Copies of this chain bind each other. A is one copy, B any other.
Amino acid sequence: MGDPKAVVLLSGGLDSTTVLALARSEGFESYALSFRYGQRHTVELEAAARVAAVLGARRHVIADIDLRVFGGSALTDDAISVPHHDSVDELGAGIPVTYVPARNTIFLSFALAWAETLGASDVFIGVNALDYSGYPDCRPEYIEAYERMANLATKAGVEGDQQLKIHMPLVALTKAQTIARGLELGVDYSLTHSCYDPVDGRACGTCDSCLLRIRGFAELGMTDPVMAAV
Contact = CB atoms under 8 A, between A and B. Distances in A.
26 contacts: A63-B66, A63-B69, A64-B65, A64-B66, A67-B113, A69-B114, A70-B110, A70-B114, A95-B155, A102-B153, A102-B154, A103-B113, A104-B153, A105-B109, A105-B112, A106-B106, A106-B113, A136-B152, A136-B154, A136-B155, A136-B158, A137-B153, A137-B154, A139-B152, A142-B153, A148-B149
Copies of this protein, total? 2
Interface string A89-120: 00000010001111111101110111011000
Nearest to A159: B95
Interface residues of A, number: 43
A117 B70 contact: yes
A146 interface: yes
B106 A154 contact: no
